[in-house]
Amino acid sequence: MKTTEIKSDLFWTGVVDWNLRDFHGYSTEKGSTYNAYIIRAAKTVLFDTVKKGFTSEFLDNIRLIIDPESIDYIVVNHAEMDHSGALPEIMEIVKPEKVFCTAPGKKALEAHFGVCDWPFEIIKDSDTVDLGGKTVRFIGTAMLHWPESMASFIPEDNILISNDIFGQHWATSERFDDEVDQGELFMQAAKYYANIFLPTSGAAKKLLAKLDDLGINPDMLLVDHGLIWRSKVDEIIAAYKRWSSGETNPAAIIIYDTMWESTLKMARAIAREIAGDGVSVKLYDLRYNHRSDIMTDILEAKAVILGSPVLGKTVLPKMAAMLSYMKALRPFDKIGAAFGSYGWSDTSVKHLTEALEEIKFEIIDPGVSAQYVPDQDDLSKCKNFGKRIKEEILKRC
């Protein structure tokens, strides 16, 4: 993979991981990139490295631009292993004068690699480093999404090297946002936010406000994964403002698992009553859909409806896994309700409702259940249940 000159003396020198299919339980069906950047000035600086196993390719890319031993500084914006895994090998070759990171970043790197003799230079929010012709201004981004995270602003180029923020897990030979399909781009950006940044939405909202306060309106966002933003910067920042504020659309996501199709029949009856009059609905059968794709649609939906039959007085395993994943990501400002079928112990609706309450969803209906196979009376109850959900969605959107 060739390197890319982004602006004069500023280069992309990352690697493309075409085969990545899972990232901490998040399905990465399109692979990913591990982006790193080099600035050549009086002092030459490398921003982040790549995942372990890609070091050789990474060094080959660097050598297309500069002798690695000519790099003066390394900036570690993020210590997670997909960006720092190659760092010990790079340190042996580069032998930089300084490694810039936050205090928590130093702690993380020492813990990861068992080192204490690297030339760490601890930086704080708003610290600057003069490279001779270019400047790096460091912006603290703690908990976006690790405590040591930071971003690097280059005022001379009006570029923000943004770390994981604004990224996408998407392997492409293209480097810029305007070189790829826009629908796919924003879908992958939404999936990335929903499955990584959703639980730290408060911190994301603060950072966006901070950039506004500082008057930083970058021409480009150099992300750590996926496509560099140069044409749609305003659009992705606007999307992050919506997502971090919890703005929603008049939509319901129905997530269910089913044993002998009874819960499936209930889900379809509920969905038919919700759909229409400006309200959209999506059904996700957990036997066929991945949790991270479901979370992508939950991100902007107003209502989340859960359904499961009873298994051992609780819910089916795939639903239990979905609940665990959703609890960790903490979607907010949603309404919710539950439904399900049972044989002799009517407990799944109670279990699902309690899970929604734990995530702090507003419960809008006590739920509906059916014994064995839903009859016409049960399906009528499902229709009324769907109507109530639709009414509540329209009230709030």
Instruction: Spot the catalytic one: 34, 37, 192, 256.
Output: 192
| 145 is known as an active-site residue | yes
What's the CA gap between 297 and 203, in Å, rounded? 22
Instruction: Spot the catalytic one: 48, 78, 257, 365.
Output: 78
Instruction: Spot the catalytic one: 145, 148, 157, 365.
Output: 145
Neighbours of 215 (CB within 10 A): 6
| 80 is known as an active-site residue | yes
Instruction: Spot the catalytic one: 17, 48, 80, 148.
Output: 80
Residue 117 class from Cβ within 10 Å (0-12 exposed, 13-18 middle, 19+ buried)? exposed
Angle CA 234–235–240, to nearest 5: 100
Q: Which two tokens stand for residue 51?
A: 């995942």
Instruction: Spot the catalytic one: 26, 225, 257, 378.
Output: 225
List, as one string, the DSSP characters of 69-111. Answer: GG--EEE-S--SHHHHTTHHHHHHHH--SEEEE-HHHHHHHHH
| 169 is known as an active-site residue | no
How does strand 15-17 pair with strand 32-34? antiparallel
Structure letter (DSSP) for residue 53: T
| 83 is known as an active-site residue | no
| 78 is known as an active-site residue | yes
Instruction: Spot the catalytic one: 48, 157, 164, 378.
Output: 164
| 192 is known as an active-site residue | yes
| Spatial contact of 165 and 197, defined as CB atoms under 8 Å apart | yes
| Spatial contact of 4 and 11, defined as CB atoms under 8 Å apart | yes
| Spatial contact of 148 and 206, defined as CB atoms under 8 Å apart | no
Instruction: Spot the catalytic one: 17, 82, 177, 224.
Output: 82
Q: Which residues are marked as active site? A: 24, 78, 80, 82, 145, 164, 192, 225
